[in-house]
Structure 1
Amino acid sequence: MQMSFMKPEQQDEASRFTRLVSRFWPLGLASRFILMLSLVILTSQALTSAVWYRYSYLQEKEGLETALESIASNAAFTVSYYRKLPKSSRHLVLEQNRSMGGTRFFISLNSKRIEAKGLPQSERKQELQQTVDTVLKRTLGHQISIDINFSQRDDLRVYDAEVPLDDIPRAFARYTIEKVKDDPPVLVMQFQLPNEQSASGKKRVSEQWLYLATNLPAPYVSLESRFLDARQLNFILLTSVFVLLCTWLIVRREIKPIKNLAQAAKLMGSKMDAPIIKEEGSGELISAVHAFNTMNRRIRAYIRDRDLLFGAISHDLKTPIACLKLRTEMLDDEETKHRFERSLNELEFMVQGALHYIKDTDIQEQVEWIDINAVLHEISAFYGKDEQKVGLAGKASKPFLCKPVAIKRLLHNLIENGVKYGHYVDISVLDTPRNLVIKIRDHGPGIPDELRERVFEPYFRIHQEKEEGTGLGLSIVRNIVRGHAGKLVLQNHAEGGLVVTLSLPREE
């Protein structure tokens, strides 16, 4: 006895999940193989991308820190130079620097610290700010006030008036930060410069801030490392689609022999008429197909030998039966003559029934398209010549592909039994895209539940002493139904009588 350690609600949840998976899980071998391979490719791509992301993240971080250390060193040199200048000379030197160029920074002298709208806070931003701060304080000392931030170019404010960068007059356009395509973050550094002292040694009240700003160098266009950029995503999609397409073509080629084998096995199981399959594919498939072809040939040979045997038996039995009938006619005793004739007639009837049983299950009849409605009307009219004994409702929407003689014999047997034992028969036809369903209900005594399967056995009759015939009718019917891959079900009606449900699949 197995014990479950899951709670009832957990078991229900697991059961629902299993049903959901089984509902959407494909049935075909090719689709299953493609789905599983897709999952493997996605998993491998995810793992590869995760490893690549980690390596790329560390490499990019190291490169960005190196670039920022270089920028911070240049900024520290610039700040050291301006710190040594008298306050009155700083603006003059700044104008000379602007005129001559040679610096990567946008530089301005302000009377206050300019508020800059920074990029959103993140762990990486704090790490980079700390890197810049460490280099600056290592060079300039810890006494100087430093403000470090990262911002977008469009959010920058400059000068004491805090005007947007793009609002600077055209005459000063060469002083602005160059606008580039990828719009990288801008590193903004502000340093509080020392004031001059008066003769009395007191500091002036006004303060001065040196404003330095510059774009991050290429290829560092963002502080955040994206897991997959567009180029990498396109590469992954293209390679995945290419691999899946190649796999689909290969699987389709390899599965073709399996489909042929399955179709042949279906025909063998339903109609006993399977073609010889071409032996191709892998070694295992060739072995399986070869075994099936061998079995198919043996079954065909057996059926052919059986037909020849019954044909010989039919020929061999008819001659002595005819001779016995002729000798019986020569008898003088009428009573003895009558008994002999009755026995010979019964023997001939049984032989003919056995031969009909073999003939009606013969697989050699060719399939044809027939009008099943016309067949049912013809049979209904035949059994309703003297009085109305058959009622017909519904109709088939299109012709039906079958063995016409066998199907007519099948319907004749079922309707004849219904009329014989139930006196009146109701026939209803339901046609669907996949199946043709014909229900035949009589109004007789029905069949006991324990005998519903036995009535299909050859030579079985419910009332042996009362019934005429050989007891092969329903056996022939079932064989014909199986030969068309159909189903035959017997059920007693709640209001009395027997309902025979015949379901025949339409050819795909």
Structure 2
Amino acid sequence: MKKLWPNSLVGQLLLVVAAMLLLAQAINSFLLFRGAQNQNLIEASTVAVSRIAYGLERQAQDRPAFREGSMRARRWGRLKYSGHSVVTDDMDRLPELEMRAGQAFSNMGAGFSDIRAAYLTELMPDMTGYLVGSNRGTRRNGPINRSLGGRPSPRETRGFIVISAQQADGQWVSLASAVQGRTPLLVRSLLLQTITIYLLMLIPLILLGRYISRPLKSLTAKANTFQPGETEALAEQGPPDTRELIRAFNDMSGRVTNMIGEKDVMLGAIGHDLRTPLAALRVRVESVEDDFERERMIAGIEDIDHMLDDILSLARVGRSKEQSDTVDVRSLIETIVDEFTDLGHDVRYQRGEKQTASIRETLVRRALRNLVGNAILYGKSADIALQKSGDRLLISVDDDGPGIPNDEMETMFEPFLRGESSRNRATGGSGLGLTLARAIARDHGGDIILKNRESGG
């Protein structure tokens, strides 16, 4: 079912409308067929009633042209006289037709004490000689009638109406009338009507759907590629509601850009105002005679300076002025590995094939340094692997540390949250490393995922 349900707004709208039209047309067709069926029954019963009344009138007048066995009698259908009704209680009685027949007989001046009508799919043998209406299609299909534009083919007989009326002397007079079937013309008319309705409804809906969905697709693409600082507004198009939505998006993107610009100005000012007194404080600290205290003070100033640098870098992700360049990622990883191994850390990397990607090298270098630094800090070693999966590169950094509980993995990316409680950079830093690394990865269309290894780490 999900495969049949389209993803687009236009497709869903058209599918719902088409289904409703099909349902409505099916109900309409059912009602038309039922109406045609009832009409055929009424037509057949009307023929039988009129023939019975006409036959009784002519026989009452004792006219030779309508006597039993005459050509005219055979043409108009002979009446069956019997002491009992040919319509029995086990037949498919038609009370409504019986009432209509009684009213018709009364209007024509024929009085009957009881009237019975039934519908039969097969005519009983004793009524085969008392049937009217079975040769109407054949007669109308004759050469003369066809040349005059008559019916091209006879309708199929699909049943029989038998009407039996009891006269005042107790004798029953009966006659059968053929019920003509539905013609193919009705089916063709319904098909043509359905196709016409679909064309008249669906084609305008397709055009309307495209008129509505085109600006929505442009809005979606603009939202997915939105970068703070963009000054080009999205053109307002489509119906009034869609134009209002696009206008609201343009206003929102302008406010976001202004807010981020104000934030950058504020952070730049904070960075300048903090680094100046920190530099002056470090100069004064150099004059402290106690070597131990002097080193502790310098380490504290460096921690503040590194934390300030991490905060500013995190705030500027996505706003970097550095252009993306095609970089050999394999060589970039090797450079980072050399930096850590020169400091005596256990970092391993199996050199593979050359893999290039369009990245901001400085940012990606910083993200990898943070990941490798965490691996060394908590796992004492780092094992790096580079794989290509489709149009993406997968960089794995494994360690042999204690791992992280599964319910805490996502929280490790929150700012200033660390797996180790101290704020000493020697034992963990400021808690912005993973946050900054993930922000850089997502800025490049990727992500960072934490996962415990089965062997630990």
Scaled by the length of structure 1, the TM-score of the pair is 0.56
Is residue 391 of structure 1 aligned with residue 335 of structure 2? no
2:435 to 475, 486, 490: 475
2:367 to 384, 394, 410: 410
Q: Deviations over 1:222-268 (max 9, x none)?
A: 63356942233023113213311211211221233443444444445
Q: How far off is 1:376 after superposition?
A: 3.8
Q: Deviations over 1:121-153 (max 9, x none)?
A: x999xx9xxx9xxx9xx9xxxx99925488899
Q: Which residue of 1 aligns with 2:453?
A: 493
CA distance in 1 between partners of 2:313 and 2:157 (Å): 98
CA distance in 2 between partners of 1:496 and 1:145 (Å): 95
Alignment of 1:236-275 (within 5 A): 236-267=194-225
1:182 to 115, 136, 153: 153
The answer to whether the Cα contact below 8 Å between 1:406 and 1:480 also exists between their aligned partners in 2 is yes
Q: How far off is 1:308 after superposition?
A: 1.4
Q: How far off is 1:64 after superposition?
A: 6.5
CA distance in 2 between partners of 1:57 and 1:174 (Å): 29
Alignment of 1:182-261 (within 5 A): 182-184=153-155, 223-225=181-183, 228-261=186-219
Is residue 379 of structure 1 aligned with residue 362 of structure 2? no
Q: Deviations over 1:317-361 (max 9, x none)?
A: 3433444444555x38363765654444444333333333333x2
2:10 to 1, 21, 30: 30
CA distance in 1 between partners of 2:215 and 2:8 (Å): 14
CA distance in 1 between partners of 2:128 and 2:154 (Å): 29
CA distance in 2 between partners of 1:332 and 1:437 (Å): 49
1:354 to 311, 323, 336: 311
Number of positions where the alignment pairs a residue of Structure 1 with one of Structure 2: 382
SS of the aligned residue for 1:146 comes to coil
1:45 to 8, 15, 25: 25
SS of the aligned residue for 2:397 comes to strand
Letter in 2 for 1:294: D
SS of the aligned residue for 2:371 comes to helix
The answer to whether the Cα contact below 8 Å between 1:394 and 1:430 also exists between their aligned partners in 2 is no
Change (3 A) 1:414 1:186: closer
Alignment of 1:378-457 (within 5 A): 378-380=332-334, 382-383=336-337, 389-391=348-350, 405-419=362-376, 421-427=379-385, 429=387, 431-432=389-390, 437-449=394-406, 451-457=408-414
Q: How far off is 1:73 after superposition?
A: 11
CA distance in 1 between partners of 2:247 and 2:441 (Å): 29
Q: How far off is 1:34 after superposition?
A: 1.9
Q: How far off is 1:310 after superposition?
A: 1.9
Letter in 2 for 1:182: S
Change (3 A) 1:383 1:152: farther
Structure 1 unpaired stretches of 5+? 1-19, 95-104, 106-121, 156-172, 188-215, 498-508
The answer to whether the Cα contact below 8 Å between 2:14 and 2:205 also exists between their aligned partners in 1 is yes
SS of the aligned residue for 1:389 comes to strand
Q: How far off is 1:67 after superposition?
A: 7.5
Structure 2 unpaired stretches of 5+? 76-91, 111-125, 159-177
Q: Which residue of 1 aligns with 2:271?
A: 314
CA distance in 2 between partners of 1:250 and 1:418 (Å): 56
CA distance in 2 between partners of 1:318 and 1:279 (Å): 46
The answer to whether the Cα contact below 8 Å between 2:330 and 2:352 also exists between their aligned partners in 1 is no
Change (3 A) 1:123 1:382: farther
Q: Deviations over 1:253-285 (max 9, x none)?
A: 1233443444444445xx667763334444444
Change (3 A) 1:323 1:405: closer
Let me know the Cα RMSD of the aligned residues. Answer: 5.4
Q: Which residue of 2 aligns with 1:297?
A: 254
Is residue 277 of structure 1 aligned with residue 234 of structure 2? yes
Scaled by the length of structure 2, the TM-score of the pair is 0.62
Letter in 2 for 1:378: L
Change (3 A) 1:426 1:71: farther
Q: How far off is 1:401 after superposition?
A: 6.4
CA distance in 2 between partners of 1:430 and 1:62 (Å): 79
Change (3 A) 1:392 1:450: farther
CA distance in 2 between partners of 1:363 and 1:123 (Å): 87
The answer to whether the Cα contact below 8 Å between 1:365 and 1:403 also exists between their aligned partners in 2 is no
Change (3 A) 1:345 1:38: same
Q: How far off is 1:53 after superposition?
A: 3.4
Q: Deviations over 1:64-101 (max 9, x none)?
A: 77788999999999xx878879x9xx9xxx9xxxxxxx
Change (3 A) 1:60 1:453: closer
Letter in 2 for 1:239: I
Q: How far off is 1:57 after superposition?
A: 4.2
CA distance in 1 between partners of 2:203 and 2:322 (Å): 41
Is residue 146 of structure 1 aligned with residue 129 of structure 2? yes
Q: Which residue of 2 aligns with 1:12?
A: none
Q: How far off is 1:447 after superposition?
A: 3.0
SS of the aligned residue for 2:448 comes to strand
Percent identity of equivalent pairs: 22
Letter in 2 for 1:250: L
CA distance in 2 between partners of 1:402 and 1:145 (Å): 94
Letter in 2 for 1:310: L
Q: How far off is 1:416 after superposition?
A: 4.2
Q: Deviations over 1:435-492 (max 9, x none)?
A: 7654432223323456534432334443434426443211101222444565433222
Change (3 A) 1:57 1:482: same
CA distance in 2 between partners of 1:150 and 1:409 (Å): 97
